[in-house]
Amino acid sequence: MPNKTNTKSAELYERAKRVMPGGNTRTTVFRTPHQFYAQRGDGCRITDVDGNVRIDAVGNFTALIHGYGNKRILDAARSQIEVGPCYGMSTESEIRLSELLCERLPSVEQLRYTNSGTEAVMNAIKAARAYTGRSKIAKCEGAYHGTYDPAEVSQDAGPSTWGDIEKPKSVPTAKGTPQGVLDDIVVIPFNNVTVAEKILRAEGHALAAVLVDVMPNRAGLVPARPDFLAMLRRVTREFGALLILDEVITFRLGYNGAQGRFDADPDFTTLGKVIGGGFPIGAIGGRAEVMSVFDPSKGAPAVPHGGTFSANPMSMMCGIAAVEELTPEAFEKLENLGHRFEHGVRQLFQMHGVDGQVTGIGSLRRVHMTNAPLSDYRSTFAAAEGPQRVAALARALFDEGVMIAGNGLMAFSTPMRKDDIDEILSGFDRALKTVAA
Ligand code: PLP
């Protein structure tokens, strides 16, 4: 349980404000009246600089599937750092990680590495444009795919900007996004087969790709309907456009990634987070034929791709350890932890007479404080004062020793045991009392 003293975090935040805008470098970790500063992690627990210990139920926004201090990852990191953190040469480790991932992902024959999921998506978009000679990309309203400006269009749209559901507008996220970027993004409603198909058909031959996450967090962490995914595949094939599956978060849903679980057959797959074992990483993969746009062996590639730290051996070595630790047994365990949580928290919402539900599957979950049906971004957004109530719940949980994301996102990790889920649930029990009051 946290001791609830935050003096050192508050002091560090005062220092940070002088040298960093808003004292912050990641908007996702910003909090008022001050940010919290981590000291160390251990298993599934995180300790802040004031000595508060909390159970970490989001694991750096879903990246830490093995929590902190996994022995194999530690050994990999130590052995690599001894011989150099990175070089201006390739290493065998990038081949090994690629072999592992290609073996698991049905649609992936070849891979390249980046330093983040954002860069992976950026390169997938560039590759699709180069391959098709077209410029337009379709994406789902409210879906987050990192911070490359075409990818972030309409991720934060609201009722005053999003337009009619039959023709959602391309809404800029960062001020100053060029009009040309907005014109090249086609926004479709997630899980709405009829409307999305109509929009895609109207753009048909101008489309380079459709970019989709099968369970977009910001759009509610609701799984894609099978007929929605099937429609995307059918229409992209018909018009000669590519399908990019963003698995930066969802790779953790199964041994064969989300594409195995959802039976999806994309042209490109983007990866990140868990495949780096806690080190910065992103990857783009696909069939050899489409990946050839990056191939420098026959002259200048259609899409040159470098990156000082791309495929750096720290991320590769720790990634190998992390992926090898993701055995079928590990997935079964993660799945059971997710079920235990879902079942327990449903009972708690009922017991406290508080509106609430859990979306997501397996080890990836999101709590919402509404009973309204959620199917896409607009229904999640419309859930009355839900988002503020969830933020209040997340804050109350933090005070009770459980760390989740401010929007209710949670990710379970392999060091967790049933007891840890029960500890999370007792945190919810106490926090719901505060929120319900
Ligand atoms: N794509 C998805 C689906 C994500 O959830 C994220 C990050 O949360 C990204 C891409 C961007 O990844 P990164 O934060 O590593 O740039």
Q: DSSP labels for 237-267? A: HHHT-EEEEE-TTGGGGSTTHHHHHHT---S
Residues 85 and 206 in one domain: yes
* pLDDT single digits (tens) 209-223: 999 999 999 999 999
Q: Does ligand 1 come within 6 angstroms of the Cβ of 117?
A: yes
What is the C-alpha separation between 240 and 222, in angstroms, rounded?
Answer: 28
Q: Which residue owns the Cα nearest ligand 1 atom 7?
A: 146
The mean pLDDT of 106-121, rounded to a whole number, is 98
Q: Residue count of the chain, please give it.
A: 437
**Residue 57 structural domain:** 7-65+328-436
Contact 365, 359 (CB under 8 A): yes
CATH number assigned to the domain comprising residue 333: 3.90.1150.10
| Chosen domain end from 290, 325, 360 | 325
Whether residues 188 and 321 share a domain: the answer is yes
Provide mean pLDDT across the span 244-273: 98
Q: Is the C-beta atom of 146 inside 6 A of ligand 1?
A: yes
Residue 274 half-sphere exposure toward CB, CA atoms < 13 A: 28
State yes or no: cis peptide before 2, omega within 30 of 0: no
- In this prediction, residue 435 carries a pLDDT of 85
**Could you tell me if residue 402 is inside a domain?**
yes
* 236 Cβ inside 6 Å of ligand 1: no
Mean pLDDT value across residues 67-83: 98
Q: In whole numbers, what is the pLDDT of the chain averaged over residues?
A: 96
End-to-end Cα spacing for the chain = 22
pLDDT tens digit sequence for 291-342: 999 999 999 999 999 999 999 999 999 999 999 999 999 999 999 999 999 9
The proportion of the chain whose per-residue pLDDT surpasses 90, expressed as a percent, equals: 94
CA of 163 to the centre of ligand 1 (A): 26
In short, whether 107's Cβ falls inside 6 Å of ligand 1 is no
Does the C-beta of 283 come closer than 6 Å to ligand 1? no
Closest residue by Cα to residue 125 from 262, 274, 299, 282 = 282
**Ligand 1 in contact with 116 (CB < 6 A)?**
yes
Asked if 406 and 62 touch (Cβ cutoff 8 Å), the reply is no
Is 0.90 surpassed by the pTM of this model? Answer: yes
Predicted pLDDT of residue 387: 66
Query: Which of 64, 153, 213, 248 is the best mutation target for the ligand 1 pocket, counting ligand atoms within 8 Å of the beta carbon and taking the most?
Result: 248
321 found inside a domain: yes
End of a domain among 286, 303, 325?
325
Retrieve residue 324's tokens.
Answer: 């090898």
For residues 138 and 27, membership in a common domain is answered with no
Centre of ligand 1 to C-alpha 72, Å, is 25
Residue pLDDT, tens place only, 398-437: 999 999 999 999 999 999 999 999 999 999 999 999 887 7
Distance 275 CA to ligand 1 centre (A): 12
Domain boundary among 288, 310, 325: 325
CB 221 within 8 A of CB 380: no
Tell me, what's the ipTM?
0.99
Query: Sheet holding 364-368: strands in order across?
Result: 357-361, 364-368, 409-411
* 129 and 254 assigned to the same domain: yes
CA pair distance 220, 232, nearest whole angstrom = 20
- Confidence (pLDDT) at 26: 94
- 26-38 per-position pLDDT tens digit: 999 999 999 999 9
CATH number of the domain that 127 lies in?
Answer: 3.40.640.10
Claim to verify: residue 354 and residue 306 sit in the same structural domain: no
* Cα distance between residue 186 and residue 125, in whole Å: 13
pLDDT digits (tens, 9 = 90+) for 357-392: 999 999 999 999 999 999 889 988 877 556 678 999
Nearest protein CA to atom 1 of ligand 1, as residue: 145
Report the atom number in ligand 1 closest to the C-alpha of 121: 10
- How many angstroms is it from 426 CA to the middle of ligand 1? 30
Q: Is residue 114 in contact with ligand 1, taking CB distance under 6 Å?
A: no
Query: Are residue 165 and residue 235 in the same domain, yes or no?
Result: yes
Q: Are residues 306 and 348 in the same domain?
A: no
pLDDT value, residue 229? 98
Q: Which of 144, 155, 211, 270 to mutate to test the pocket of ligand 1 (most atoms within 8 A of CB)?
A: 144
> Does 247 contact ligand 1 (Cβ within 6 A)?
no
pLDDT for residue 2? 81
